């Protein structure tokens, strides 16, 4: 995965944009086409207290609503930490939005004011498709892209 190219492309495409949904749509599209193992790439947005709803994504249908109390996306939102899941069958409370998903990476997405906007979710039909490097590099990119988001 060429994170330097992805980062530069997203910086150019997102320059000056503050609308969170527009940024999510652009990131989901670019990242989905850049990451060779991501079958579903998208965002779940914070839409109410302890509630995530599907946002812009690429791939098959996702779950429409995920409470903070359930699944990998909920865990990332609830704890504010990256969730790297090499085998979703071993994750307690995993929500199977797609039966083909074998591994997952979910990152909380904050704006510069410390507001949780949602989570970035990458799913793969390959086990152990994501690692700490993916989490670290994508976290850096998300912090920069969403810094001024509203």
Residue 21 lies in a domain: yes
Question: 12: domain CATH number?
Answer: 3.30.450.40
33 phi, psi to nearest 5 deg: -80, -20
Q: How many domains does the chain have?
A: 1
Host domain of residue 41: 3-145
pLDDT tens profile 99-130: 788 999 999 999 999 999 999 999 999 999 99
In a domain, 48, yes or no: yes
CA atoms in the 13 A half-sphere facing the CB of 124? 19
CA distances from 119 to 5, 23, 93, 96, 115 (A): 22, 13, 17, 17, 12
For residue range 29-82, list pLDDT tens digits in order: 999 999 999 999 999 999 999 999 999 999 998 889 999 999 999 999 999 999
């Amino acid at each position: 995965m060429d994170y330097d190219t992805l980062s530069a492309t997203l910086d150019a495409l997102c320059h000056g944009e503050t609308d969170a949904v527009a940024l999510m749509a652009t990131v989901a599209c670019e990242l989905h086409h850049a990451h060779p193992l991501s079958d579903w790439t998208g965002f779940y947005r914070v839409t109410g207290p302890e509630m995530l709803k599907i946002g812009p994504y690429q791939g098959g249908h996702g779950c429409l609503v995920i409470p903070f109390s359930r699944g990998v996306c909920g865990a990332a939102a609830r704890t504010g930490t990256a969730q790297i899941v090499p085998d979703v069958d071993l994750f307690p409370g995993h929500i199977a939005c797609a039966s083909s998903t074998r591994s997952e990476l979910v990152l909380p997405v904050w704006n510069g004011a410390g507001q949780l906007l949602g989570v970035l979710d990458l799913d793969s039909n390959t086990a152990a498709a994501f690692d700490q490097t993916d989490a670290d590099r994508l976290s850096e990119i998300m912090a920069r892209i969403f810094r001024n988001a509203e």
